[in-house]
Structure 1
Amino acid sequence: MGFATKDVVIVTLRYLLDWVLVIGFIAAASVLGNMDGARRPFNPYDPAFSFPYHGDTVSVTLLVILVVAVPAIIILLCCFLAPRSALPALVGNRNAPASYVWKHKLLNWNRAWLGLGLTLALGYFVSNCLKNVFGKPRPHMISVCQPDWNKVAAIVKSTRTGPQGVLAWNPLVTSEICTTTDHDRLSEAFRSYPSGHATMAFAGLTYLSLFFYSTLVLTLSKTSIVKLPYSIQDTRKRNDDSNEKSRDGASKLHPPSLPLLSFVVVISFFCLAMWIGASRYLDFKHAGIDIFSGSVLGFLSAICGTWWYAMPAAGGVAKGRMRAGYRQDYSTGRRVPLPEHDEPRGPIGAGERIVLMDTNNDRNSMEGAPTVEK
């Protein structure tokens, strides 16, 4: 078995193991979602639990379509329709054969879907764990519970405070006072915190936004560009010529800002996620803090999935199983590191700054040039 074939087999087995773990997380989360968790005592006279029962504006089926199917399809199209410049693993391989290009497109697609799967699995698993642990009643608890008010009155009379025996109008009762026969709906009524819809919406759509943005950056860095002679200097070194580390880039291409339309597209994904979260508040399914916490949880899940699989790092090197920054040596079949000056290059690294160069090769610092500190 050649080196290249062995490398492909190892990477394939690693990806298969990753898929098994992601599917396992989703299966475990589904089991947790069907379990009876904790049931926090509540006050039957609390107006916060007295809202009427309302159907779902965003059903579970519609949620799956919006946060799973739609991102998966968009990612698929981006991976296969994007130009070669959008694939960091093809850096320096301008003459690579079509089979090599398609192999890396497949790897990029697989890695992007794995990131989406990890994002959704993580958000789904953690949200169901928290729902079972907290057991917080939903705002429509009284409508679902249909309490036996005779039992409630008995509890109120037996609960007295103060030396005069004043009746307590804030008694805490449990689900034992409920008369409903729909036990599944009653169990679901104690799963308010955090909002699962908000978690999944912000997880899937935030991941899609980050992936779409990174794809645009890599694509437009080659298709919409201006020539600027510059070098990138390491500001963490001393400012003398003997110790300053710089990378000349007079022949490189400096990408401009992204088109405003791309910003509108990215923001539309966030607006869709916010609408899904807002619908849960309007349907009396969650309190505001439940939706906010679910949104934060989903956002953090998307950050984890993006960082682990899909985020290109500075210098054109991507995190994940198959790293960019290598090119294929067709004579040996091995992947060899790229020279540091090869294009395209990602954002400036930590402690670096852009320095313009004039036609006489004199280097003058660019006033107001961006510097990234650690």
Structure 2
Amino acid sequence: MFGRQSANGGGRGPQFPSIPRRRMELTRSYAPDWILVIVITGCFYFLDSIHGYWREFSLTEPSIQHTFTEKERVPNWMLGVLALVLPAVLMPVINAMTIRSWWDWHNSWLGLLLSLSLTAVLTQTVKVTVGRPRPDLIARCQPKQGSQDTSPYGLVTASICTQTDMSKLKDGFRSFWSGHSSLSFAGLGFLSWYLAGKLRVFDRKGHTFKSFLAIAPLTGAMLVAISRTMDYRHHWHDVLVGSTVGLLLSFFAYHQYYPSLASSYSHSPFSPRIYPDELRIHRHAPSSVPLIGGYMDHTPDVEGGSGYDHEREGPVPPVTVPRDAGSEPVPLHHIGQQ
């Protein structure tokens, strides 16, 4: 797709990367990101296997005397479907209905995994270090007959428990903060930001229907969070903090790959980070066709264009690259994916 052309039309100018080479550059640049989110996810399962800290508790504390719910309203497998599978399926569909970009597909999945992996590891780290008793701890513990709070402070340890299922007892000290709440908001929250960007909800024109669509995933996450108090798995504080953390991390992850929702270009992902190096060749290529599309938050060193200006928001200006006769302009976020 990219050929050679001289400044006067008869010589030979700089050679631009071919599509296969472009793909290889993109792979080398973003493979570490994919590997890292997978490694971070593995850390979550490692943290889940350790013993962790178990706090002292009182046998007369009403907040931990609730019934142990055998069948949860949202079990772990369903949480995985809602927080991971559902957004991963819906975002390519939304992509196909809007900008139809392979690069957007890549960024949406990578951003989703970043949101979930960060939330999972941070949540599990806090759980195993805080060691807060769940509302159903005493039912899990099954204290020895005749057990009483010790004096003078009225607290006991897990040594009074007769529970033989150690995984069940260990999980009883992982109330803060709620993992279901944080992960549901991390996954469905990312989907909500994605929808808001694609629908351009914040374009200052007012869209009631679009607003309802964008907020729908957050409603689902909220119901998942509420179910944790209904099953007596968490105190309300655990759910509130977990939901807040998940939503904030989804917002953070989303903006690693997409511009502000208030931007006129909120529907487009950021350009590939290897883009500027290729633009630098442009200064030596006066005979050309436009390279269309993309959105950058940095300024490439090229003649005739300043990229994205933080003070004056805007798209990447038309940039030109040499081509062979008959070739077509290539959208920036499609390069290497055709």
Shorter-chain TM range is: 0.7 to 0.9
Give 1:141's aligned amino acid.
L
Q: 1:340-371 CA deviation, whole Å, 9 max, x = no partner?
A: 699xx9xx97589xxxxxxxxxxxxxxxxxxx
**For the structure 1 residues 340 and 21, does the alpha-carbon distance in structure 2 shift closer, same or farther, using more than 3 Å as the test?**
same
Give 2:110's aligned amino acid.
L
- Pairing 1:60–2:47 present: no
Following TM superposition, the consecutive aligned residue runs of length 4 or more in structure 1 with deviations greater than 6 angstroms are 323-330, 332-342
Give 1:115's aligned amino acid.
G
SS of the residue 1:309 aligns to: coil
User: Residues of 2 paired with 1:147 and 1:266: CA distance?
Assistant: 48
- Pairing 1:283–2:231 present: yes
Pairing partner for 2:248 from 285, 289, 300: 300
User: Residues of 2 paired with 1:306 and 1:146: CA distance?
Assistant: 44
Q: 1:293-349 CA deviation, whole Å, 9 max, x = no partner?
A: 10111011101111112335857485463489999999589898696699xx9xx97
User: Residues of 2 paired with 1:72 and 1:121: CA distance?
Assistant: 14
User: Residues of 2 paired with 1:281 and 1:177: CA distance?
Assistant: 26
In structure 1, stretches of 5+ residues that fail to align are: 85-104, 161-169, 222-254, 353-374
The residue number in structure 1 matching 2:29 is: 14
User: Residues of 1 paired with 2:163 and 2:61: CA distance?
Assistant: 19
**For the structure 1 residues 39 and 320, does the alpha-carbon distance in structure 2 shift closer, same or farther, using more than 3 Å as the test?**
farther
- Pairing 1:263–2:211 present: yes
User: Residues of 2 paired with 1:13 and 1:289: CA distance?
Assistant: 43
The residue number in structure 1 matching 2:107 is: 111
Q: TM-score, normalised by structure 2?
A: 0.73
The Cα shift of 1:8 comes to: 3.2
Give 2:217's aligned amino acid.
F
The residue number in structure 2 matching 1:167 is: none
User: Residues of 2 paired with 1:350 and 1:332: CA distance?
Assistant: 28
Give 1:70's aligned amino acid.
L
User: Residues of 1 paired with 2:39 and 2:99: CA distance?
Assistant: 34
User: Residues of 2 paired with 1:299 and 1:58: CA distance?
Assistant: 19
The residue number in structure 2 matching 1:361 is: none
In structure 2, stretches of 5+ residues that fail to align are: 1-14, 293-299, 314-338
Give 2:85's aligned amino acid.
A
User: Residues of 2 paired with 1:299 and 1:211: CA distance?
Assistant: 13
Q: Which segment drifts farther, 105-114 or 137-146?
A: 105-114
- Pairing 1:321–2:335 present: no
Q: Which has the larger radius of gyration?
A: 1
**For the structure 1 residues 341 and 9, does the alpha-carbon distance in structure 2 shift closer, same or farther, using more than 3 Å as the test?**
closer
Q: Within 5 A, what are the aligned runs for 1:141-156?
A: 141-150=137-146, 152-153=147-148, 156=150
Q: 1:272-312 CA deviation, whole Å, 9 max, x = no partner?
A: 11111000011111001100110111011101111112335
Greater strand proportion? 1
Q: In the alignment, is the contact (CA less than 8 A) between 2:136 and 2:232 conserved in 1?
A: yes
- Pairing 1:34–2:49 present: yes
Q: Which segment drifts farther, 119-128 or 320-329?
A: 320-329
The residue number in structure 2 matching 1:358 is: none
Q: In the alignment, is the contact (CA less than 8 A) between 1:120 and 1:203 conserved in 2?
A: yes
User: Residues of 2 paired with 1:76 and 1:351: CA distance?
Assistant: 31
User: Residues of 1 paired with 2:223 and 2:215: CA distance?
Assistant: 12
Pairing partner for 1:134 from 130, 133, 136: 130
- Pairing 1:72–2:68 present: no
Q: TM-score, normalised by structure 1?
A: 0.67
% identical aligned pairs: 26
The Cα shift of 1:106 comes to: 1.5
Paired positions, count: 280
Give 1:179's aligned amino acid.
T
The residue number in structure 2 matching 1:3 is: 17
Give 2:103's aligned amino acid.
L
Q: In the alignment, is the contact (CA less than 8 A) between 1:310 and 1:320 conserved in 2?
A: no
**For the structure 1 residues 146 and 45, does the alpha-carbon distance in structure 2 shift closer, same or farther, using more than 3 Å as the test?**
same
Q: In the alignment, is the contact (CA less than 8 A) between 1:139 and 1:285 conserved in 2?
A: yes
- Pairing 1:205–2:193 present: no
